[in-house]
Structure 1
Amino acid sequence: MKPISISVLTICGIDELPDQGALGVTHVLSLIDPGWPALEAFQSYDSHHRTTLNFHDIIEPIDGKIMPRPEDVAEVLRFGEALAASRDERAEGHLLVHCHMGVSRSTAAMLTLLAQVHPNETEDRLFERLREIRPQAWPNSVMVGYADELLGRAGRLSAALRRHYEHRVRHDPEVVDWMTRLGRRREVEMALS
């Protein structure tokens, strides 16, 4: 796969989108809840390519909510392939990946893109890269599991995710309560095991 040729990688939440408008964003991957209203912040952005995926940030089935599916992560990978294919059309680019808070779906998607572009890089190094972009990253474990399978990483990405969660808990113990309240107890248990 060709390098992405993106000079800036950004992860953020919806409330941070207005701050990004003047920063030359060329590509956007939006991961938002189904039925979420149109995001007005993008009206102030320069021309850019945008892909939107709609599913909820959950890791267990909940009535009335849509779980992340393998097809959603495959779509993230197709976005990455299109981004790489567009390299010759631009000198550089600014990729913005966002979800509602810039913590879970967006960080799982960025990790997927990093793993796609750096197939020979260790999984722990991929998570280091992710923390450099978004220190508060708590990637959705379901999405990471699908990325692990689709990219042929044989469980190594999921194992590194556990170490990443452990790192986050060690550096910010309050994340345990926050993620537990959000229904992410299984991920917290991964960090504490």
Structure 2
Amino acid sequence: MDVIFSPELTVCGIEELGGHSTRNVTHVLSLIDPERAELEAFGAYGTHHRTVLRFHDIIDALPGRTMPTPHHVESILRFGEEFSTRQDADAAGHILVHCHMGVSRSTAAMLTLMAQANPGEAADSLFERLVTIRPQAWPNSQMVGFADTLLGRRGDLTAALARHYGRQVKARPQFVEWMTELGREAELRMAV
């Protein structure tokens, strides 16, 4: 059996970043809109490695907006690889992944990192663990699809995502209205 991704894992939104400054975060993955100003919250953090990726949380191309691309997911996988091969690999690690609200881009990225670190773990198990980290997780379907391909999972992450959406709609019916307002009906249609 594969080793479960062992560092402490945190997913949050921008408004929550200040509350994590004393939690010994060692690695940060920031997924923010291209026009967003640099975040000041990290000035209160201890020494850490930070990667910033800038794209919008969308699933369809929109004028003036930057779609997530396979390149972005490759960068997330590179972040995971750099973490796993760091010189102090035996030292405690704490990975914090954030986006604007800690719901979509960040949870897709965290799922990608967990799948990368645990290639033999069932996709449904990865989603169950994701929900323990971030109960309101609604991973961006484009990002999960790219991760599925890049990790050679042959559709199992995407199929598990559909089941995850179905569970989330039942547990949090407000997601139906929210995702509709955001133009993400395709994800709602995926829900089983």
With the length of structure 2 as denominator, give the TM-score of the two structures: 0.96
- Look up the match of 1:83: 83
Shift of 1:23: 0.7
Output the CA distance in 2 between the equivalents of 1:56 and 1:110: 17
Deviations 1:32-63 (A, max 9, x none): 00021010100000010000000000000000
- Look up the match of 1:67: 67
Question: Which consecutive unaligned segments of at least 5 residues does structure 2 have?
Answer: none
Output the CA distance in 1 between the equivalents of 2:35 and 2:15: 18
- Look up the match of 2:149: 149
Deviations 1:143-193 (A, max 9, x none): 0000000000101110000000001011111111011101111001111x5
Q: 1:108 to 1:22 in 2, by over 3 A?
A: same
| Superposition CA RMSD, Å | 1.5
- Look up the match of 2:167: 167
Q: Percent identity between the aligned chains?
A: 59
Runs of 4+ in 1 over 2 A off after TM superposition: 2-7, 87-90
Output the CA distance in 1 between the equivalents of 2:187 and 2:79: 27
With the length of structure 1 as denominator, give the TM-score of the two structures: 0.95
In the alignment, is the contact (CA less than 8 A) between 2:4 and 2:118 conserved in 1? no
Question: Which consecutive unaligned segments of at least 5 residues does structure 1 have?
Answer: none
Alignment map for 1:91-102 (pairs within 5 Å)? 91-102=91-102
Q: 1:121 to 1:6 in 2, by over 3 A?
A: closer
Output the CA distance in 1 between the equivalents of 2:159 and 2:168: 15
Deviates more, 1:88-97 or 1:58-67: 88-97
Q: Structure 1 counterpart of 2:48, which letter?
A: H
Aligned length: 191
In the alignment, is the contact (CA less than 8 A) between 1:130 and 1:137 conserved in 2? yes
Shift of 1:6: 4.6
